[in-house]
Every structure is written in structure tokens, then in C-alpha cells.
């Protein structure tokens, strides 16, 4: 997620979350892949810090103009591909990759555009699609069975009131705008205003994850990164909620030896060599000054791992703590 900061005398600037921590803890040289290009902040930081070449990937066609600007500024050093980051092997020769960075979730740029339908704070069409095509959030709330909607809210939003909310959604159909949906969800909590987060936060997160198949895509992307990174290459992942971070943590721990020493998270098979070494046993967190300047960064966690020369693991998806819906998606 990249924040957007501006003042009256400057056009918007894109500030990647935890970027200083990232640059200070990696070797930004050689060829890097920015698997979630967004506004281009991470790609720019890598190029300015010494990366020879950066490939940006994003499925949102709205970022193409930003990618073209970066390509012109860093002539010959930046290339962009429109598509999913899990398909990275279709775009880049795996023999050249020194680093992969993923900045997960929805970007501030997407949240702040009402017409994209991601935010309950701005009224707009109930869309939430990061790319082109596929089901929209409106399709889900207006055509799915009540139980299916409740499962999405519970598994992808960890929403304890998922059954009640799903029932209210079905009874209020058709629902076409973000404000209408937000109002319905708020009503399930007696229109309370004393909560730290908006009552619709978890439900909107759940619908967005379902629309974009985010958790299954994350697993595919992590597995692809494992396959394409050179020995010594670095995997950098920024997460923003517990579902994402749990998957990344379990993926890396199941494949790592943590700072070069065996531990309880190491692979148990004597015939399998660890494919990653953890840069740090715990995630890097946002510092107070960044949290104050960019409140949306408050929940961000950064994990970094270094690729070993071992063969990639066979998929071990059942060990990643995935919701049932995500596991089902991975089998399709």
C-alpha cells in the first residue's frame, strides 16, 4: 500500500510504506521485480538505490500511465507488465532475478477513487475489482446465497457478526453503492459510533479479498518468487492485515532456518534443505513518525527472507492456515 501525500504547491507524491526500513535491510542491486507496482513508489526507490533493472507488474490498467512515466525517467532500466504477480514467470527469465517485492492489499490510490468502489467512506459503485473483468462486489452481494456471503465475511474479514450482516444484505437487495452497503452493515451494530474502526471495515475487506482472490493469489505469488529467485536473492513482503501476514509468516518459516540456525520452524524432513533464510525472526513494524504521517500504515508488517541454493519446496498449502474458501480457489 502506498500513501499519497500532497500540499497546495506540489502534486501528489507516492510514499511507499516502510520504504526506509526496506532499503536499509536489502541489497538493491541487480534485477528486481516489483510484483505490485501500484503508484510506482517501490520501483522508484529500488532504481534510485542501485537496482540495475526493475520489472513492475500490476493487474490494474489505471497504473499504466504511471509506469510509462517511470520508464521514460529511467530509460532502459524499467519495464512494466500488465497482469497478475503470480504469473511473473511468464514475464521474466528466472535466471536473472535478484529480488522480489510484494506490497499487498489495496493502495491508497484505489481507496481514494470513489468510482473504484473500495471505500465505505466515499459513495460509489460497488465494484472493488483491482483488474479488469471478473465478479464485482455488487455481483456477490446481489446474487450469492446468504450462507455464501456469510462465509466470505467470516473467513476473509474475520467478522463475528457475519451471519447477521449477510441476512440484512440479502433482505435489502438490490444493493449497488458502497454507501448503501455501509449503511446496512452499520445498522447491524445499532449505528454505534464509539468503535475504533468503522463497523463496515471487516466486511469491505472480506468482499475485496473475495472479488480479487487475494489470498490464493498471494500463495501462488510466493511460490513463484521461490522458483525465480537466484541463490542469495531477497524476498520482501509488506502485509496489512492478519490473514495476509499469517500466510507469509507460515510460508517463510516452513521453508527457512532462521538466521542460519535450525529451529522448531525448520523443515522436518531430513531430505529437504531449507529454501529461505529469514532476515529477521520477527517482522519489521512501522515506527511512530511514519504512523503519524500515514495512519493507513499503522498495521503494516515487513518480512524479508534470503533465497538459498536449495530446490524449491513442493506446495505445502495445507500448512499455511488458509481459509477454506482460499484453499478451494487454489484447487480450481
Residue 107: predicted pLDDT: 77
Through-space distance between the first and last CA atoms of the chain, rounded to whole angstroms: 28
Residue 8: predicted pLDDT: 33
Residue 195: predicted pLDDT: 66
List, for the chain, all residue ranges whose pLDDT scores fall below the cut of 50: 3-13, 258-262, 269
Residue 117: predicted pLDDT: 84
Cell reading at 224? 513463484
- Yes or no: say if 32 and 100 are a contact pair by the CB < 8 Å rule: yes
Cα separation, 153 vs 204, in Å, equals 8
Residues in Cβ contact with 286 at an 8 Å cutoff, skipping those fewer than 6 apart: 17, 18, 297, 298, 300
pTM here is 0.90
- Yes or no: say if 203 and 153 are a contact pair by the CB < 8 Å rule: yes
CA angle, 70 then 59 then 69, to 5°: 15
Dihedral pair phi/psi, residue 299, rounded to 5°: -95, 5
Residue 241: predicted pLDDT: 94
Give residue-wise pLDDT tens across range 139-169: 999 999 999 999 999 999 999 999 999 999 9
Cα separation, 254 vs 222, in Å, equals 12
Q: Which helix (H) or strand (E) holds 295?
A: none
Residue 123: predicted pLDDT: 94
Give residue-wise pLDDT tens across range 253-270: 999 964 444 455 555 545
Residue 291: predicted pLDDT: 87
CA angle, 262 then 263 then 268, to 5°: 80
User: 174 vs 22, 41, 115, CA distance in Å?
Assistant: 45, 39, 18
CA–centroid distance for 197 within its chain: 20
The pairing of strands 276-278 and 301-307 is antiparallel
Residue 86: predicted pLDDT: 94
3-state secondary structure of 242: helix
User: 138 vs 129, 157, 209, CA distance in Å?
Assistant: 10, 17, 14
Cα separation, 208 vs 74, in Å, equals 33
CA angle, 55 then 233 then 314, to 5°: 100
CA angle, 16 then 241 then 155, to 5°: 145
Question: Which domains are seen in the chain, by residue range?
Answer: 2-108+214-320 (3.40.50.150), 114-212 (1.10.150.170)
- Yes or no: say if 2 and 39 are a contact pair by the CB < 8 Å rule: yes
What is the number of residues in the chain? 332
- Yes or no: say if 285 and 301 are a contact pair by the CB < 8 Å rule: yes
H-state helical runs in 74-135 = 108-111
User: 36 vs 4, 113, 239, 240, CA distance in Å?
Assistant: 16, 18, 12, 14
Amino acid at each position: 500500500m502506498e500513501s499519497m501525500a500532497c500540499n497546495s504547491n506540489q502534486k501528489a507524491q507516492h510514499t511507499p510504506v516502510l520504504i526506509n526500513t526496506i532499503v536499509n535491510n536489502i541489497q538493491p542491486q541487480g534485477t528486481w521485480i516489483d510484483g505490485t507496482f501500484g503508484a510506482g513508489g517501490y520501483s522508484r526507490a529500488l532504481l534510485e538505490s542501485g537496482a540495475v533493472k526493475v520489472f513492475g507488474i500490476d493487474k490494474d490498467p489505471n497504473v499504466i500511465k504511471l509506469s510509462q512515466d517511470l520508464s521514460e525517467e529511467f530509460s532502459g532500466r524499467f519495464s512494466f507488465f500488465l497482469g497478475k504477480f503470480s504469473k511473473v514467470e511468464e514475464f521474466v527469465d528466472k535466471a536473472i532475478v535478484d529480488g522480489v517485492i510484494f506490497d499487498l492489499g489495496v493502495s491508497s490510490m484505489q481507496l481514494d477513487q470513489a468510482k473504484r468502489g473500495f471505500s465505505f467512506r466515499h459513495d460509489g459503485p460497488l465494484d472493488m475489482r483491482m483488474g479488469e473483468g471478473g465478479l464485482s462486489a455488487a455481483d456477490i452481494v446481489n446474487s450469492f446465497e446468504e450462507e455464501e456471503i456469510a462465509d466470505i465475511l467470516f473467513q476473509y474479514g474475520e467478522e463475528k457478526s457475519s451471519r447477521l450482516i449477510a441476512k440484512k444484505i440479502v433482505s435489502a437487495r438490490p444493493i449497488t453503492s458502497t454507501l448503501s452497503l455501509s449503511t446496512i452493515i452499520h445498522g447491524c451494530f445499532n449505528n454505534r459510533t464509539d468503535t475504533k474502526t468503522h463497523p463496515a471495515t471487516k466486511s469491505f475487506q472480506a468482499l475485496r479479498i473475495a472479488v480479487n482472490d487475494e489470498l490464493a493469489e498471494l500463495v501462488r505469488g510466493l511460490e513463484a518468487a521461490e522458483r525465480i529467485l537466484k541463490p542469495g536473492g531477497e524476498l520482501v513482503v509488506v502485509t496489512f492485515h492478519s490473514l495476509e501476514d499469517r500466510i507469509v509468516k507460515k510460508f517463510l518459516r516452513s521453508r527457512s532456518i532462521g538466521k542460519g540456525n535450525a529451529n522448531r520452524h525448520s523443515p522436518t524432513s531430513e531430505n529437504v534443505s531449507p529454501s529461505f533464510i529469514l532476515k529477521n525472526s520477527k517482522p519489521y513494524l512501522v515506527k511512530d513518525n511514519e504512523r503519524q504521517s500515514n495512519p493507513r500504515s499503522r498495521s503494516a508488517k515487513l518480512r524479508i527472507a534470503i533465497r538459498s541454493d536449495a530446490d524449491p519446496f513442493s506446495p505445502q498449502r495445507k500448512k499455511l492456515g488458509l481459509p477454506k474458501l482460499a484453499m478451494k480457489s487454489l484447487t480450481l
